[in-house]
Homo-oligomer: A and B are copies of this chain.
Amino acid sequence: MLGNVRGRKSSREKILDAAAELVAEIGAGRLTLDAVAERAGLSKGGLLYNFPSKDALLQAMIQRMIDQVSDAKESLRAQMAPGPNLEARLVATTLLNMCCGGKMQEVATGLMVASAENPRLLDPVRGVISATLEQVKANSDDLDAALLGWLAVEGLSNLEMHNLSPFSDQDRERIVQAINRLLTKGIAK
């Protein structure tokens, strides 16, 4: 896992990059080991040395995705403006940033593959979401607003993940501002 501070990417990482790209390009249901091997620049044998089965590859994709979101969230934590519903604003900002940057596509498609081929691969994701709920609950001044803001971000992310979003850039900007307003000011009484 470690030991790659300098030097080129390990095969493992090249493979994971290739798989993520492919899922985004050709769809989750069409991800094959042949295609991943070709994209990563090695043979199917070499691929299967690194990941002994397709399930193992998918599992690693999911885990890397979780780690990326988690890292992004934690590095954002220091920069967040103080105020109410901190945890919910942190989650919201992280997800909204990743959607924009195109990184979310990878997240999305990883989820798709997983739940299509083997729903149990989503177990780690379940864990993260449960933990997030606990954190949001423990760190919210207005729980209703925090949960709604979080869910709205989830909804927007999901639409964008599947290329189903009907929103223009202006719409989206308006929505993001509305979410922030909800998280800082709450629902009307």
Contacts and interface: CB of A to CB of B under 8 A. Distances in A.
Interface of A: 27-30, 111-113, 115-119, 122, 125-126, 129-130, 132-133, 143-145, 147-159, 162-167, 171, 174-175, 178-179, 181-182, 185-189
Contact of A162 (B115, B145, B167): B115
A147 B175 contact: yes
This chain: copies in complex: 2
B182 A185 contact: no
Decide if the interface of chain A is mainly helix, strand, loop or mixed.
Answer: helix
A156 B167 contact: no
23 contacts: A29-B29, A112-B112, A119-B163, A126-B163, A129-B164, A129-B166, A133-B166, A133-B171, A144-B178, A147-B171, A147-B175, A148-B148, A148-B149, A148-B175, A148-B182, A151-B153, A151-B155, A151-B156, A151-B159, A154-B154, A182-B182, A186-B187, A187-B187
